[in-house]
């Protein structure tokens, strides 16, 4: 137990982990830092395949409502998740497919920026961790040199210096780095199915709204004659 506790050097932990997170926070905006920590729960909970399957089922319900009623009624369709619920609501309120297309592009771009900020935060932490480990190592060496006159006190600061270097590598390669890579893969998968879902809804908007506008114009011309 004592040997294990020797690895949990408080100074090394504070400098490496605290310094890495501080460096990442200074490079990010407040929103990006908050999104980075909020994204941690997605590491185990996110399931893009299940989300896409649920989106396909919801879109089928939307299509059924369009066929039997009208596109303005699609907000009655049962959906899962805030993203798809908002997409369907926007489709119900859209005045033209161009308006809906503009909203889809802006929404996906905003989500991509938010994802990118969270990923960049953890990449910054991974980049900073080895340097923070070296800083803690230097601090440990300074403590060691201050006790050179008493050889019995050299072991603890020397161990602290070596543990700090190791901890920096661990944080970079086994914690922050993998978190950033997994979030990047999850982001690509999520944005992919969301793009496909919105493209499908946009085709519905084009078929229903643009066709309806065309019929209205033809009717107006006929009446004018």
Tell me the per-residue pLDDT of 17-37, one tens digit each, with 9 for 90 and over: 999 999 999 999 989 999 999
Q: Is residue 2 part of a domain?
A: no
Q: What is the pTM of this model?
A: 0.83
Q: Is residue 169 part of a domain?
A: yes
Long-range CB contacts (within 8 A, 24+) of 106-109: 107/198, 108/191, 108/194, 108/195, 108/198
69 pLDDT higher than 90? no
Count of domains forming the chain: 1
Range of the domain at 136: 9-224
Secondary structure class of 70 (helix, strand, coil): coil
Q: Is residue 4 part of a domain?
A: no
- What radius of gyration do the chain's Cα atoms show? 28
Q: Is residue 33 part of a domain?
A: yes
* pLDDT digit string, tens, across residues 78-134: 888 899 999 999 999 998 899 999 999 999 999 999 999 999 999 999 999 999 999
pLDDT at res. 6: 55
- Asked if 179 and 43 touch (Cβ cutoff 8 Å), the reply is yes
Degrees to nearest 5, angle at CA 22 with 17 and 24: 100
Q: Is residue 3 part of a domain?
A: no
Q: Is residue 170 part of a domain?
A: yes
Rounded CA-CA distance 62/57 in Å is 9
Q: Is residue 1 part of a domain?
A: no
């Amino acid at each position: 137990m004592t040997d294990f506790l020797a690895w949990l050097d408080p100074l090394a932990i504070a400098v490496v982990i605290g310094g890495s997170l501080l460096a990442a926070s200074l490079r990010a905006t407040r929103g990006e830092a908050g999104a980075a920590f909020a994204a941690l729960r997605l590491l185990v909970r996110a399931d893009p395949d299940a989300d896409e399957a649920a989106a396909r089922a919801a879109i089928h319900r939307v299509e059924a409502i369009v066929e039997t009623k009208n596109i303005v009624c699609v907000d009655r369709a049962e959906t899962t998740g805030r993203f798809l619920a908002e997409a369907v609501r926007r489709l119900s309120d859209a005045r033209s497919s161009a308006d809906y297309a503009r909203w889809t592009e802006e929404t996906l771009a905003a989500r991509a920026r938010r994802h990118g900020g969270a990923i960049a935060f953890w990449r910054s932490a991974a980049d900073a961790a080895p340097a923070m480990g070296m800083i803690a190592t230097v601090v440990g060496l300074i403590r060691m040199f201050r006790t050179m006159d008493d050889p019995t006190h050299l072991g603890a600061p020397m161990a602290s210096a070596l543990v700090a270097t190791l901890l920096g590598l661990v944080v970079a390669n086994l914690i922050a780095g993998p978190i950033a890579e997994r979030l990047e893969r999850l982001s690509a998968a999520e944005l992919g199915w969301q793009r496909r879902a919105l493209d499908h809804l946009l085709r519905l908007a084009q078929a229903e709204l643009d066709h309806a506008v065309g019929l209205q114009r033809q009717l107006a011309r006929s009446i004018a004659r």
